[in-house]
Amino acid sequence: MTIKEQLQHKINNKTKPLGSLGLLEELALQIGEVQNTLSPKIEKPAHLVFAADHGLADEGISPYPKDVTWQMVMNFCGGGAAINVFCNQNDISLKVYDVGVDYDFPAELPIEKTKVAYGSRNMRVEPAMTPEECRAAMKAGADAVRKEAENGSNTIACGEMGIGNTSASSLLMHRFIGGTIEECTGPGAGLNNSQVQHKINVLKEVAGKYNPETPEEILATFGGIEIAAMVGAYLEAKKQNMLILIDGFISTAAVITAIQMDASVKNNCIFCHSSDEKGHKIMLEYLGVKPLLHLGMRLGEGTGAAVAMPLVKSAVNFLNQMSSMEDAGVSNKE
């Protein structure tokens, strides 16, 4: 039998009605296939938050000022953000990367300093990144993941912090999936209806201004430095054959970009939740995947991935620890 057939046989013969653990059974099968084993493990799960500013924020496409990016990074360092809480709760290591924040952090702060630039450029005027900046950001993300793999981690999640990054994600979604700007654009961090319309108008103008062709050119034109870092991280995580836990709207925009560069990335991805940000459900349908959770979350930082970790562990644990019908002396279905 193939590893998939062996895993399915093992799952089907646990002491339970066939299929009764639902999505957990699909998850156990996927994890076993990725790790090519009947006894998969979650080892040293790591969460990387990439932070960067966006020049497009100058156009009023977010309800928050750009200063919130560096202020929230300080909050991460102080342990006070949602992602700190959920990583602590679920025994996930957390590292914060400054890949493009428009601020100089004190040297003593626990931040990984891999700054590519002091934020992306204003896309209304020029492309978000030069090709060199985009590649440097992708390399920063890849290097971060490689470090975790070398430390024994086989499970990775990425989060982000960057005022304006739902706009960049909407543009990437529009370009790769083909939905209208209206379908791809939501309130982000809390815009009202008239502000959303302004955001749509700005993004329409930006989308019509450029015609990049390759996935990397599209990322450099319409993305953000932290999004490019996430793309690099996902590509490297696939090379390292790690499980990749995907968060919400921005993370999914990044992984869709990565999939344009290497379609096999999707095989390693666990889609952790369905975000309330407009467009995310369309992205998940485009990918043909089932999210684990529907909690109405739209925070970012990778919080949905961290919250889903107990479900990932549950899938592995039932596969490894639950008795089979034979072991328990339970009669199977006729």
Which residue numbers are catalytic?
Answer: 301
Kind and range of the H or E run holding 213: none
Contact assessment for residue 235 and residue 221, using Cβ atoms and an 8 Å cutoff: no
Number of H helices, E strands in the chain: 14, 6
Owner of token pair 């969460």: 47
Give the closest residue to 115 by CA, choosing from 123, 107, 125: 107
CA distance 45 to 175: 32
Contact assessment for residue 90 and residue 306, using Cβ atoms and an 8 Å cutoff: yes
**Residue 82: which region, alpha, beta or left (left: phi > 0; alpha: psi -120 to 50)?**
alpha
Amino acid (one-letter) located at 247: D
**Residue 50: which region, alpha, beta or left (left: phi > 0; alpha: psi -120 to 50)?**
beta
Amino acid (one-letter) located at 199: K
Give the closest residue to 220 by CA, choosing from 133, 142, 140, 139: 133
